[in-house]
Chain A
Amino acid sequence: MDEPLIARGLRRTTLPRFLLWLAPWAALLALGAWAIFLCFAEGLNQTNMDNRFAFGLWIYLDLTVIALGAGAFFTGFLLYVLKRKELRAVVNSAVVLGFLCYSGAILILMVDVGQPLRAWFTFWHPNVHSMLTEVTFCLTCYLLVLAIEYAPVVLRSRKLRDLLSLLVLEHQLHKVMAVFAAVGTFLSFFHQGSLGGLYGVMNGHPFSYRASLGIWPSTFFLFILSAAAAGPSFVLLTTWVVSKLSRKELVKPEVLRFLGKVSGWLLLVYVGAKGVDSLVWLNATSPRAGVSPASFYAYPSFGTWILFLEVVVLGLVPALLLVSERARARTGLLVLASALACCGVALNRFVQTIQTQALPTLPFDAFLSYSPSWQETAAFLFVVAYGVLVYSISFRYLVLFPEERELAKG
């Protein structure tokens, strides 16, 4: 029925089956839209956040998807700036993923701030000393860059390419893509860093406070490194998942292995830096602030196991697997290591956001627990459903993996 819209040579499932796949996600989207409406209409009393637990599920989601979305800037940087041509096979998909991650993050941030109509205030009255101002400016600019990078993929679709003027615009945009890739890299470095810096400067929270390197706390650099490491793993993982779900070979195995290799080495550097940072923090920064490092892990929910899990199981282990050529050669291990790396960055953002606020900071404070309300959870799922829906539609009608046609021939 919709064959004339599908790029020639791509084999896709029938329209009814595709709609059946979309249906549950659309239902989830509708539920999330209702929850978001409630938050806008009734206010943040719909959430379980309060004055002490000001960051909840939504900020955790933002930090995680922005870290995973780093695959877009890093793939673009490797392809257009460092000329790693083999990544042409995944760059379209990486751009779509990046766009979805960033647009989803901004959308949920709008709900969190609660006054979307006043969003422009942050640009008109910026507090230039705030990390969040830098984050807001960078996110907005980078979303614009991602939209520009996404546009050529859409303009090359089977129907739109008949509009010659748009196709010519796409051709010219493609020629200057290196500039957008470089700008995206610049912006990503700073907003990933500032998101980490945000926690590192909170000297009222000894758990997250870190010593500074220059004007930035160490978390500024750790967030950049961890996002750059997890981004390619996320692109690898999604490519593999889409390939399995669609039962099609989308890219050559070498491309996935290259992504794994890049991710692995960056992750290894990150784990090393994180290790040094943790030792300095536990042995110097915290004692200097009069806090015993043992107190950070004195509560049952967040024992030392969480640090071990984050740094060793979800950091060192996938890093060693991904840098090993023999492990990379086995698809199962490659995918497992990538999944562990993505979980590692998600856990790091969880620890930074949730554990930081849960731990008491004053003698009379108690350990605080937080669990999201259904509205928060539904809004979270809204972003997930939005991502799945837009990616599925893009996969069906756009060429996200240019090698797919050739690989289908065997």
Chain B
Amino acid sequence: MLPWNPDFIPATSTYLFLGAFFAVVAVVATTLGVAALRAFRDVSRGRAATVRWLEEFEELPEEARACRHALTGELPGRICPRAFACSGCERHARLVAERSGDPAAAPPADSLFGFDFPSDRLYHRGHAWARPEEDGSVTVGLDDLSSRIVGALDAVVLPGPGERIAENGPAFRLHKGSARVRVAAPVTGTVVETGGPGRDFYLRVRPDAPFDGASLLSGREVAAWVLREWDRLQVVLAGPRAVPALADGGVPLADLSKTVPDAERDRVLGEFLLDP
């Protein structure tokens, strides 16, 4: 097989055959090596959470990947091509600039369809909110819609003070019955304080850079998004082949978790909190 092998035959056919074989082995080994090196680079640069989110985003159903401007009707039917990383999106920047003089861009009311969505905070599409505080920190919590779907929790797994979280990576985990779901973080930074279900917030985070929340929803986007999520929840809860029904008045239950069968809870929460 190799020239120093005693029965190596130095003929053209030998060189052709073994040349092709070693070329294939070299291509496979090099490609594998490149993938491993890139993976090592991503992990060592702390991009693992981002990569995880990119993987998860690909697996989300189309309706959960809708562009924020599709929610508001500015770009109907558009699917976000950037895994909700709006800060580098030219179309988003252009639409936001056009919107700035629009009186309809006023912040919505704090109550939307019977849910509390205070306008002092920004909302992640995975139902976490982020509120910038005066001291530069950001508090993170779970929005009212998802809190009602989750209901009383069996356990919450929070990162400890000093631990780092990354935007779109896991912020904290919720345990309820057979369900184990993560809530995606709306901010990158270091945890400075932990809260919980009984308090106003789950985490207080010192962001790595001044917080701008460019990828989070605000203003009139929130109302459009909540309405879409309310429809999506009906479909998720009703199971296969369901369609959202028109609202017939009334207000949502304070504890929607009772409407979710335990056997379906993991699927429903995973789908709703964008944890595929």
When C-beta atoms are compared, the residue in chain B nearest to A156 turns out to be: B55
A180 at the B interface (CB under 8 A): yes
* 1/0 contact string of A61-100 vs chain B (CB within 8 Å): 0000000000000000000000000000000000000000
User: With contacts defined as CB atoms under 8 Å apart, how many contacts are there between chain A and chain B in the complex?
Assistant: 107
CB distance B1 to A125 under 8 Å?
yes
CB distance A405 to B61 under 8 Å?
yes
CB distance A164 to B52 under 8 Å?
yes
B35 at the A interface (CB under 8 A): yes
Question: Beyond A125-B7, A408-B240, is A168–B27 a contact (Cβ under 8 Å)?
Answer: no
A118 at the B interface (CB under 8 A): no
* 1/0 contact string of A137-150 vs chain B (CB within 8 Å): 10001001100100
Segment of B43-51, B115-123, B130-138, B247-255 engaged in the interface with chain A: B43-51
* 1/0 contact string of A113-136 vs chain B (CB within 8 Å): 000000000011110110001100
When C-beta atoms are compared, the residue in chain B nearest to A399 turns out to be: B59
Interface of A is mostly: helix
Question: Beyond A168-B48, A183-B24, A406-B61, is A129–B13 a contact (Cβ under 8 Å)?
Answer: yes
A168 to chain B: which residues have CB within 8 Å?
39, 42-43, 47-48, 51-52
CB distance B51 to A167 under 8 Å?
yes
B199 to chain A: which residues have CB within 8 Å?
none
Segment of A169-177, A218-226, A355-363 engaged in the interface with chain B: A169-177
Question: Beyond A137-B21, A175-B35, is A170–B55 a contact (Cβ under 8 Å)?
Answer: yes
Q: Smallest distance from the beta carbon of A181 to chain B beta carbons, Å?
A: 11
A244 at the B interface (CB under 8 A): no
Cβ 8 A contact of B31, one of A125, A176, A186, A408: A176
CB distance A9 to B267 under 8 Å?
yes
CB distance B18 to A180 under 8 Å?
no
B144 at the A interface (CB under 8 A): no
* 1/0 contact string of B37-79 vs chain A (CB within 8 Å): 0110011000111011011000101100000000000000000
Cβ 8 A contact of A148, one of B32, B39, B266, B270: B32
* 1/0 contact string of A188-207 vs chain B (CB within 8 Å): 00000000000000000000
Q: Smallest distance from the beta carbon of B239 to chain A beta carbons, Å?
A: 8
When C-beta atoms are compared, the residue in chain A nearest to B12 turns out to be: A128
B36 at the A interface (CB under 8 A): yes
CB distance A169 to B39 under 8 Å?
yes
A125 to chain B: which residues have CB within 8 Å?
1, 5, 7
CB distance A126 to B1 under 8 Å?
yes
Q: Smallest distance from the beta carbon of B269 to chain A beta carbons, Å?
A: 9
B94 at the A interface (CB under 8 A): no
In the bound complex, CA of A173 to CA of B37 (Å): 11
When C-beta atoms are compared, the residue in chain B nearest to A171 turns out to be: B51
CB distance A148 to B28 under 8 Å?
yes
Question: Beyond A124-B5, A167-B55, A406-B61, is A180–B28 a contact (Cβ under 8 Å)?
Answer: yes
When C-beta atoms are compared, the residue in chain A nearest to B58 turns out to be: A402
A175 to chain B: which residues have CB within 8 Å?
35, 38
In the bound complex, CA of A368 to CA of B194 (Å): 81
B271 at the A interface (CB under 8 A): yes
In the bound complex, CA of A164 to CA of B182 (Å): 14
In the bound complex, CA of A161 to CA of B276 (Å): 11
A13 at the B interface (CB under 8 A): no
In the bound complex, CA of A175 to CA of B51 (Å): 12
CB distance B17 to A164 under 8 Å?
no
B105 to chain A: which residues have CB within 8 Å?
none
When C-beta atoms are compared, the residue in chain A nearest to B5 turns out to be: A124
Cβ 8 A contact of A8, one of B240, B241, B270: B270
B35 to chain A: which residues have CB within 8 Å?
169, 172-173, 175-176
A172 to chain B: which residues have CB within 8 Å?
34-36, 38-39, 42
Q: Smallest distance from the beta carbon of A70 to chain B beta carbons, Å?
A: 18
A405 to chain B: which residues have CB within 8 Å?
61
B266 to chain A: which residues have CB within 8 Å?
3, 8
Question: Beyond A173-B35, A180-B28, A180-B31, is A410–B241 a contact (Cβ under 8 Å)?
Answer: yes
In the bound complex, CA of A186 to CA of B61 (Å): 35
When C-beta atoms are compared, the residue in chain B nearest to A164 turns out to be: B48
Q: Smallest distance from the beta carbon of A154 to chain B beta carbons, Å?
A: 14
In the bound complex, CA of A369 to CA of B106 (Å): 88
CB distance B52 to A167 under 8 Å?
yes
CB distance A8 to B275 under 8 Å?
yes
A8 to chain B: which residues have CB within 8 Å?
266-267, 270-271, 275-276
B25 at the A interface (CB under 8 A): yes
Q: Smallest distance from the beta carbon of B6 to chain A beta carbons, Å?
A: 9
A45 at the B interface (CB under 8 A): no
Tell me the A residues contacting B by CB distance below 8 Å. Answer: 3-4, 8-9, 123-126, 128-129, 133-134, 137, 141, 144-145, 148, 156, 161, 164-165, 167-173, 175-176, 179-180, 183, 186-187, 402, 405-406, 408-410
List the 6 shortest-distance A-B pairs measured between CB atoms, nearest first: A410-B241, A164-B48, A169-B39, A172-B35, A8-B270, A128-B17
Question: A8-B270, A186-B24 given. 12 additional CB < 8 A pairs?
Answer: A124-B1, A126-B17, A128-B17, A145-B28, A164-B49, A167-B51, A167-B55, A172-B36, A172-B38, A180-B28, A405-B61, A410-B241
A-B contact pairs, 26 of them (CB 8 A): A8-B276, A9-B267, A124-B5, A126-B18, A137-B21, A141-B28, A148-B28, A161-B52, A164-B43, A164-B49, A168-B51, A168-B52, A169-B39, A171-B39, A171-B55, A172-B36, A172-B38, A172-B42, A176-B31, A176-B35, A179-B27, A180-B31, A183-B31, A402-B59, A409-B235, A410-B240
